[in-house]
Each structure stands twice: as structure tokens, then as C-alpha cells.
Amino acid sequence: MGGPAYEPHPLNDATRYKLVLLTSTVLVLAIVLVVPWPDLLGGVSDRPGEQPGSDAGLAAPGAPGGLGGTEPAAGGPVDGTGGRHAGVDGGPTSDDPNRGDDPNRVGHPNRVGDPNPGDEDDPGNEDDFIDHGTLAGSVIDAETAARLFPNLRLAAGHRHRFDPVALVSLIPDKEVVYDWPEHPNGRIVARTNNLGLREDQPTATGKYGPRVLVLGDSHTEGFVDNGESFANVLEERLGVLPDGRRVEVLNAGVGGTAPHAFAAMLRKHLPLRPDLVLAVLFTGNDVFGDLAISDFFTKRGRIKVPVGYQERLRAARDSLDDPPDFWGPAILGNGPNQAYRFKHRPEEVDLAMDAVLASFDDMAAQCGARSIPFAAVILPTKDDVEPHDDRERMDAALALMEMTREEASLNARLAARFAEAMRARGIPCVDPTERMRARDEILYWRKDYHLNVVGHALLADIIRADLGTLLPGN
């Protein structure tokens, strides 16, 4: 102020060139040192137990999309543009129909834990495992969610994304087509609407009639076309009210989640002002699924399982992969794996049930604070409904796991325990198990043990019959 203005000393061309060259060199060195090149190039990761496309750290195979599994690629999947999703970190590839559905990667919610072969303290009679209780932190951020929910680790641009409220949600306005020989159309179209719901039509934020919000995992989301899911069949059954308004039943199921995430999804969609909320517990993997999430918060730490635990699972999975277009990991994850885990870790049953009930209490409290009716629905496993179908393959798999049918039926006992707890809380609970067993039709796909089209329609009718006037328009 008042003195001569400062003028920088001009640089000659040679000096400028040297500065630019030096800056570029430093930048390149920084990239080389910081970026995890093996991961970037699809090679072997240097993180223990993580080798994309390998069986390293094999653990309990799970259900595609159920908390117990990731989205498989059935001769695809093919997105709306016809392009196949490239395999990344064990994600789906066009030449490996099981890899995208392989929950054997680090962080899978239905996984028993990650082998730690470098542990010098292992006594030799057990395999040492790292479980979700060893993950750092106390908040499920994007990085932690990717460890807890395997569908977030699939190829970029697949169907799932991290959600800061719901934890995991489906990407809006996306379509994926799965080859599905058992389906009448030979394929399944998984399409999301503007809110990431499994609906063919956009969902308006404003209400034009009563709304039912349905929460659940892949068995709710459905391995069927949107209009064939039990949520959408229920909407069709309820139809139009006398005043001309149509009842909406919104399918907010998301594959690869568990009740803790259902409660988070409810929190996300409360602004839609539902008139009834249904939460569906799949008894084949949701119980252990919530234990995995609970372990992250409680920091329960490492677990131990007997020697040979993983090898038996691998053998059973491989046996269920025959015929080749069947999803062995999905079949194993939709029931036997959870029972197998609890056979070897019986002390975890109470912990897991406590976690599930806490999640349902959370949902009931959210609804109660807003005077929204809340009900639970039990969805049993294929083996608990129609054990006669595909029995030879399942018996062979159970034999490889050294499990009896009685031990595998633990999932049904967990369902009964859950139903009793709901009744004690005064929460309406639909249990369709006996009525499903009484049917002659096959209700689940053999390919992956999810409900088929007939099974979804039957479940919709049972829910309508059991909930009665709790359902708007019923």
C-alpha cells in the first residue's frame, strides 16, 4: 500500500520446461506408490484372503441376492444395453455362472470368517478365522458396507449401491436379464423403478391411495419378473377400492441383506407414508445374516471352527453345481449353510436370534411412533417345504457336510422360535409353512432354491388371508 507493486521474476523457457518435467515425474511416482495395481488390473490382491476369481478363503456359499449370497450371472446377466458385466473381485463373468454368486470372498455376510493361515498361535486342531467382529469402526460407511454386503463388491454398474440411510439399495431405473430355463419365458427380467424398487412403474412421492411397504432380502425382491413377485401379486389381488383408488404394494426387497438392513430401508422410505409395513424373514440365512452385522457392532472378534469345515463346504458346493447351470453356492446358502454353521457354533444361535429380534423391534418401533401397522412374514426354505424335490442331490450334499436331515431342519425350529417371539410382542406374524407343505406343486426353483412363480402367488394369497382387514382394500 503506497509502495511499488510486486512483480514476479519472469521464468525463461528452459526453466519452465524443467519445472513441468519435475512435476510430472513426482505425480507419476505418487500414482505408482499409492494405487493398488493388482486390484486395478484384476490381478491377485495383496489383501489376505482376497484373490479375485479364486477359491481362497472358501466359506459358506450363500444365496444369490439373499443375505447369503450375491447376484449370480446366469449365462449373463445382461444389462439393458445387452452388454455383459465384467468380473471384478469375484463378480459375475460370462464364462463362470457361479462366480458372481460366490460368497466366498472376504466380507461376505453369510461367510463363516476368513482363514488366517499365517497365525503362528494356531494349535493345529482348528482353523483360525477372522470374522466381521474384527472390522474396525462403529459406523457402517461405504467401505464397511462393502465388507458386510457382498453385492456391493460386484462388477461396477451392476444392480446394488451403498446407501447412507438404507446401507444397500438397488440402483434406480436399471434392468438386468437372467437366463432361466425353469421360468416359462426362459429368462427373468430384474427391473427397478425411479426409487430403486422392484416395480415396473415409477413410484410417486405423493400418495394417491393406500400403500403397503414390503421389506426383505432376495426372496422378497424375487428371482421372478416384477409382476410375479408376491408383493406385486398381492397388489393385484387387493385391486381398486370402492372409491376408485388403487392399493399400492411396494417391493423394497434387496438381495444380499438381512433384518438390520430392512430396518434401515424402512427408515429411508418412511417419507412415502406407508399405511402398512411387512417385513419378511427368510429362515434359511437371515438369522445368521443379522449375526454377522451384529458382530461388527459388538466386536465379538475371531471365531474358531473345526479342521475340515471349509473343505466339507467346498465339496458340498461343488456337488450342487451339477448340472452346470445350477447355482451350487446359492442352493447351499439358502438353508444348509446356516444350519451347518450353527451345528458347529451352537452358542451363536441365541446371539443370532437376539440380533434378529432387535432388528424387528426397531422396525416395530419406527412404525409405532407413526401409528403405522407392522407385521412379520416368515418365508421357509425349500428343504423345509418340499424336501422330496431334488432330494437325491441335497442328501448327497448333506452327507458331504456330515449333516443329518434333523440337523439341517434347524432352520424350521428357528422359524418357530421367531414366530413365538412375534406373538409375545403382539406383532402379527404370517407363517405359511404348513400350507406350503400341503401343496402338490413345486414352489421353489431347483436352480437356486428361491421361490418360483407359483410359490410367489401362493405366498401372496396366504398373506392376504392371514392379515385380513389389516391390509387396505381387503
Distance of CA 171 to the CA centre of its chain: 14
Q: What is the DSSP letter of 443?
A: -
Residue owning grid cell 382387514:
469
| Domain membership flag for residue 162 | no
Residues belonging to the chain: 474
Does pTM top 0.75 for this prediction?
A: yes
pLDDT reported for residue 71:
52
Classify 377 as helix, strand or coil.
strand
Relative to beta strand 429-430, strand 167-170 is unpaired
Say if CB 377 and CB 96 are below 8 A apart: no
Count Cβ neighbours within 10 Å for each residue of 112-137 and write b for 16 or more, e otherwise: bbbbbeeeeeeeeeebbbbbbbbbee
Side chain identity, residue 225: D
**d(C-alpha 316, C-alpha 332), whole Å:** 8
**d(C-alpha 161, C-alpha 152), whole Å:** 6
Going through 33-165 in order, the beta strands assigned E by DSSP cover: 78-79, 114-115, 126-130, 160-163
- Helix 309-320 / helix 391-400 crossing angle, nearest 10 deg: 160
Say if CB 384 and CB 433 are below 8 A apart: yes
The CATH number that applies at residue 205 is 3.40.50.1110
Going through 180-229 in order, the beta strands assigned E by DSSP cover: 187-191, 211-215
Neighbours of 297 (CB within 10 A): 16
**d(C-alpha 184, C-alpha 453), whole Å:** 9
List pLDDT tens digits, range 281-309.
999 999 999 999 999 999 987 777 888 99
Q: Which of 448, 329, 447 is nearest to 60 (CA)?
A: 329
Residue owning grid cell 441335497:
394
Q: What sign for the dihedral angle of Cα 239, 250, 212, 222?
A: positive
pLDDT reported for residue 101:
37
Mention every residue, 6+ apart, whose C-beta is less than 8 A from residue 72. 64, 92, 97, 98, 100, 101, 178, 327, 330, 448
Classify 348 as helix, strand or coil.
helix
The residues facing 179 across adjacent strands are 187
| Domain membership flag for residue 176 | no
Q: How far is CA 375 from CA 30, 391, 427, 457, 468, in A?
A: 55, 33, 6, 19, 12
pLDDT reported for residue 14:
52
Domain that holds residue 450: 182-470
**d(C-alpha 455, C-alpha 474), whole Å:** 21
| Domain membership flag for residue 136 | no
Set of cell numbers at residue 148: 458386510
Count Cβ neighbours within 10 Å for each residue of 409-420 and write b for 16 or more, e otherwise: bbbbebbebbbe
Domain count of the chain?
1
| Domain membership flag for residue 303 | yes
End-to-end CA distance of the chain: 82
What is the full per-residue pLDDT of the chain (474 aa) written as tens digits?
Answer: 443 333 334 445 555 455 545 555 545 444 444 433 333 222 222 222 222 222 222 233 333 333 344 455 433 333 332 222 222 222 222 223 333 333 333 233 333 333 222 232 333 333 434 468 888 889 999 999 988 888 888 765 589 999 999 999 999 999 999 999 999 999 999 999 999 999 999 999 899 899 999 999 999 999 999 999 999 999 999 999 989 999 999 999 999 999 999 999 999 999 999 999 999 999 999 999 999 999 999 998 777 788 899 999 999 999 998 777 788 889 999 999 999 999 999 999 999 999 999 999 999 999 999 999 999 999 999 999 999 999 999 999 999 999 999 999 999 999 999 999 999 999 999 999 999 999 999 999 999 999 999 999 999 999 999 999 898 878
Torsion angle, alpha carbons of 212, 214, 215, 216, to 10: 170
| Domain membership flag for residue 144 | no
Set of cell numbers at residue 353: 436370534
Set of cell numbers at residue 231: 408383493
| Domain membership flag for residue 377 | yes
pLDDT reported for residue 39:
31
The values of phi and psi at residue 416, to 5°, are -65, -40
| Domain membership flag for residue 143 | no
Torsion angle, alpha carbons of 391, 462, 356, 104, to 10: 40
| Domain membership flag for residue 223 | yes
pLDDT reported for residue 40:
28
pLDDT reported for residue 50:
28
Q: Which of 96, 77, 52, 111 is nearest to 314 (CA)?
A: 111
Q: Which of 137, 155, 142 is nearest to 101 (CA)?
A: 155
**d(C-alpha 219, C-alpha 224), whole Å:** 10
